[in-house]
Structure 1
Amino acid sequence: MQKKIIVLTILWMAIIAAPGVAQNDFCSTGNKCVQAGEKLNFKVYYNLSAIWVAAGEANFTTRQETLNGKQVFHITGDGATYKSYDWIFRVRDKYETYMDMETLLPVKFIRNVDEGGYKFTNNVTFDQELRKAYSNKKTFDVPQCVQDVLSAIYYARNIDYGKYKPGAKIPFSMFLDDQVYNLYIRYVGKEKIKTKYGTFNAIRIAPLLIKGTIFEGGEKMAVWVSDDDNHIPLRVDSPILVGSIKVDMMGYSNLRYPLSSLIKKK
């Protein structure tokens, strides 16, 4: 079984890259979609030999807190395999980001990984004005408006996809594992999508995958977000080196706006 099926599937921003795209269009993006109290639940499915197996879940919560005298969103993403799946590959991951409530730029990022016996912890503090990241007692230069792996998801939800034509690439930068990645999202267009939760009007985007991870290279991953003011992820679908994975939104609460993109619930 390949590693990092749960969280790095949901946190799809962690594995998309586009060398050569230097422009950063995210600096002007403020918060229009997210509010404190929001909760999202996802179920992860693994497919091998045309059989889909429910492998685990991921949950995301958003709280409002004070950090260094500033009001921030404290967003937590927890991913875990089901106990019945642990014998194949056990995952207990936790990601946290503290984001400025207006700019959605990260101030602090914490990652605790426990995957198949491999454990790793990383704490990063960002100084967005000085363009510095402090990680593992080292200081790194970072681009303007840099994101971490979790904040990037919430930042991407606030993109105004309506101003782009299908095929457009939307670039940004991310700091992960003490390295800066120049990344982009390709806007594919609008579609109807039927998930385990229901049928939705959706916006489809395609991140370009880094070759050499558990995912194949190229734009083979598809991500659908709700075509309403919330832009919550509805489905992630991608082949991996062995089989394929599917991630569906299965529950939500305290969204900022009504989930008007839902056509029919199952």
Structure 2
Amino acid sequence: MKHLNTNGRRLLLMLMLCLPLFSHTVTTSQAQCGIHNTAFKSGEYLSYDLYFNWKFVWVKVGTASMSTVQSTHKGVPAFRSSLITRGNDKLDNMFIMRDTLLCYTTTDITPLYYRKGAREGKRYYVDELWYSYPKGNSHLKMHRIDADGKHHWKQAEYKDCIYDMMSIFLRARNFDTSKLRKGENIPMPISDARHLSNSWLKYGGKTTLKMKNSNAKFRCLIFSFIEREDGKNHELIRFFVTDDKNHLPVRLDMFLSFGSAKAYLTGMKGLRNELTSKEK
């Protein structure tokens, strides 16, 4: 994977969250890839400021926002989640980022459909995934529009559950962390319209985190998103989620080929649970 494309995926994974192939009913086989949702509800909205370490100074380089609403997909109750990232002029000098992601999942977070429209650097491309679950397997129909306008279609089927950048984010927020041990790995296979990534989460324990430009402190759980590429393990993102039922990402540290970046939560509304991790 080229550096430019890798950087785009890392920046999107930080916020770090099936039209023709999806059947009109949710089957038992689909439920195998789901998880009971206790972390969020319809109407949740999160906003972030993005910072980049420029010559040992942290500079604001953009914003991101994520929203989730109750919807339907092919007549089935579903969550519709979207993520929008926008770099400012400072980031444009290094890496242009104008990305919009969309996903539909069942109410138990089984993936149904995913779309990413991305301008990363000088490229604009579109990725789409449609999920179906024949005989308990995960079947993906993949569509990609390259920067040159060419359309690429292919299909793949796996025995294991497969996710995308958005649905894996929603799923991870619902993990029962009381059962995790520090250093434990959680497999998280993620696909785009080209290939499947060998990736996982590593649990890093607990900490108390002070937010940037405020006195707010949160008790947090630490996770690292790791991808294996070219025979080596690469930590792409280290993120801090609130140690309460929301599992709200409040800070993300990103390790890019051209430097380090951070995302800080700046706003939230429509939370499902009380924010008990915030220290007074």
TM-score, scaled relative to structure 1: 0.84
Q: 2:13 is aligned with what amino acid?
A: L
Q: 2:120 is aligned with what amino acid?
A: E
In structure 1, how many angstroms separate the alpha carbons of the residues matched to 2:9 and 2:225?
16
Shift of 1:131: 1.9
* 1:108 lines up with 2:110 in the alignment: no
Q: Which moved more, 1:216-225 or 1:135-144?
A: 216-225
Change (3 A) 1:105 1:159: same
Please, which of 218, 223, 240 is the counterpart of residue 239 of structure 2? 223
5 Å-filtered alignment, 1:230-241, equals 230-241=246-257
- What's the CA shift string for 1:242-262, capped at 9, x where partnerless? 321111111111010111111
Please, which of 120, 128, 140 is the counterpart of residue 133 of structure 1? 140
8 Å CA contact 2:48–2:267 kept in 1: the answer is yes
In structure 1, how many angstroms separate the alpha carbons of the residues matched to 2:235 and 2:127?
29
Shift of 1:139: 1.5
Please, which of 6, 13, 22 is the counterpart of residue 11 of structure 1? 13
8 Å CA contact 2:12–2:165 kept in 1: the answer is no
In structure 2, how many angstroms separate the alpha carbons of the residues matched to 1:154 and 1:167?
22
Match of 2:218 in 1: 200
Change (3 A) 1:44 1:261: same
- What's the CA shift string for 1:78-124, capped at 9, x where partnerless? 0011245434433210011101112x011000010012331001221
5 Å-filtered alignment, 1:244-263, equals 244-263=260-279
2:172 is paired with a residue whose SS is helix
* 1:35 lines up with 2:51 in the alignment: no
TM-score, scaled relative to structure 2: 0.80
Match of 2:258 in 1: 242
8 Å CA contact 1:6–1:80 kept in 2: the answer is no
* 1:55 lines up with 2:57 in the alignment: no
- What's the CA shift string for 1:42-79, capped at 9, x where partnerless? 11100022111100111000011111111110100000
In structure 2, how many angstroms separate the alpha carbons of the residues matched to 1:254 and 1:51?
34
Change (3 A) 1:179 1:96: same
- What's the CA shift string for 1:18-50, capped at 9, x where partnerless? xxxxxxxx9463211121110111111000221
- What's the CA shift string for 1:187-214, capped at 9, x where partnerless? 11111011225210000112224457xx
In structure 2, how many angstroms separate the alpha carbons of the residues matched to 1:209 and 1:173?
10
- What's the CA shift string for 1:142-171, capped at 9, x where partnerless? 343211111101100101111111111111
Moved over 6 A (4+): none
Q: Which moved more, 1:47-56 or 1:137-146?
A: 137-146
8 Å CA contact 2:129–2:192 kept in 1: the answer is no
In structure 2, how many angstroms separate the alpha carbons of the residues matched to 1:252 and 1:29?
23
For the aligned residue pairs, the C-alpha RMSD in angstroms reads 2.4
8 Å CA contact 2:43–2:69 kept in 1: the answer is yes
Q: 1:114 is aligned with what amino acid?
A: R
Match of 1:122 in 2: 127
Runs of 5+ unmatched residues, structure 1: 15-25
Larger RCO (CA under 8 A, 6+ residues apart): 1
8 Å CA contact 1:10–1:58 kept in 2: the answer is no
In structure 2, how many angstroms separate the alpha carbons of the residues matched to 1:150 and 1:43?
19
